[in-house]
Amino acid sequence: MSDADHPWLDDARARLYAERAHDRLAHGLLLHGPAGIGKAGLAVSLADALLCERPQRQGAACGACRGCRLTAADGRPHPDYQALCPADDKKSISVDQVRQLAEFVHLKSQYAGYRVAVITPADAMTHAAANALLKTLEEPPAGAVLILVADRLSRLPATVLSRCRQVALRPPTATVAAKWLAGQGVEDPQLLLALVGGAPLRALDYRDLGLVDAWDGLLADLLQSAGAVRAAARFDKLPLELFLLSLQLMLRQILRLGAGGECEPLGKEREQGLRRLSEGVDWVQAHRFHDLLLQARQRQDHPLNPQLVREELLERWNRLMRPRRLKG
């Protein structure tokens, strides 16, 4: 799927292409915004456009020139392009990787055009790696463009932020996102979008992981006060983060209903289930559970045993969230 299939990025893309056309493109760009909205795809499209020798009138790569043929060649990247991401078995980008990238950027372009590097996710750079990038960001050789991609600016040092032009990318509106997902064959986009904060590409990934079935199963289990072990096992093939997001979404609806509000639009059956789940809940306990959930989210990157974390939370849910009249 090409980045041009993400219409919510059209404006940002058009601005970047126009800057390139007027020779005003910054040497260090930082594309940032929520995960799952297509930032990396936009970075690659921009790189392709920069390496194209005859861009189209709107600025996109032509797909036919020598530069585009080199970009499209199987198995090896364009000689003036380099992508930097964490090595296969690593979570971070190392200082050695950044040093190699800096050397690459300082070589002369092989085709007298741009030399482009995409760093994604840039917030995966170690502190030393980010420091090693500073000099290149500060005094980039002519024709070099570094495109950094990051979900969270707070994870990047201020020294990097101040040396890049920041391009904020936003998720589409709910209507645009739902329409786009429908075009990808997602029949029931509301739940997915609510779970992922409206990020359509993430919603698509999670659909493929079976998140909707797990969520609906969990809601049914909670309604029947099923045992924590069984309910927790519904998420055993999914990252712990998705279990925590799922519980958080349910709890948010219960708190909204308790405050006299309405559910978010999740589909009629789910809304009815959540309404039943919210009946008789003790609000003090519900807020206490909310705090537990936040603590679990803060620790989610280092769980000792995800199944145990899930079971423990569900046991707490059963204790705190069940109406008093059902207890004992």
Site for Zn ion, rule CB under 5 A: 52, 61-62, 65, 68
Would you say 16 or 61 has its CB closer to Zn ion? 61
Would you say 64 or 107 has its CB closer to Zn ion? 64
- The whole-angstrom distance between residue 101's C-alpha and the CA centroid of its chain comes to 24
Would you say 60 or 192 has its CB closer to Zn ion? 60
Least distance from C-beta 111 to Zn ion, angstroms? 11
Least distance from C-beta 65 to Zn ion, angstroms? 3
Least distance from C-beta 66 to Zn ion, angstroms? 8
Least distance from C-beta 79 to Zn ion, angstroms? 15
The answer, yes or no, to whether the previous bond of 306 is cis (omega within 30 of 0) is no
Would you say 21 or 62 has its CB closer to Zn ion? 62
Would you say 65 or 174 has its CB closer to Zn ion? 65
CB-CB contact of 285 with 292 (8 Å)? no
Would you say 70 or 181 has its CB closer to Zn ion? 70
Q: What tokens does 75 get?
A: 């198995």
CA pair distance 132, 11, nearest whole angstrom? 32
Least distance from C-beta 2 to Zn ion, angstroms? 14
CA pair distance 327, 322, nearest whole angstrom? 7
Would you say 52 or 194 has its CB closer to Zn ion? 52
Least distance from C-beta 55 to Zn ion, angstroms? 7
Task: Return the bridge partners of 147, or none.
Answer: 29, 118
Q: What tokens does 28 get?
A: 């260090």
Q: What tokens does 231 get?
A: 């309910």
CA pair distance 135, 256, nearest whole angstrom? 50
Would you say 68 or 254 has its CB closer to Zn ion? 68
CA pair distance 101, 46, nearest whole angstrom? 18
Would you say 68 or 309 has its CB closer to Zn ion? 68
Q: What tokens does 243 get?
A: 């279990």
Least distance from C-beta 6 to Zn ion, angstroms? 21
Which of 261, 198, 250 has its CA nearest to residue 221?
Answer: 250
Least distance from C-beta 84 to Zn ion, angstroms? 23
Number of Cα atoms under 13 Å in the Cβ half of residue 114: 29
The values of phi and psi at residue 251, to 5°, are -65, -40
Buried b (16+ CB within 10 A) or exposed e, 259-275: eeeebbebeeebbebbe
Least distance from C-beta 52 to Zn ion, angstroms? 3
Which of 55, 111, 35 has its CA nearest to residue 79?
Answer: 111
Handedness of CA 314, 320, 324, 327 (dihedral sign): positive
**In a 3-state reduction of DSSP, which class is residue 200?**
helix
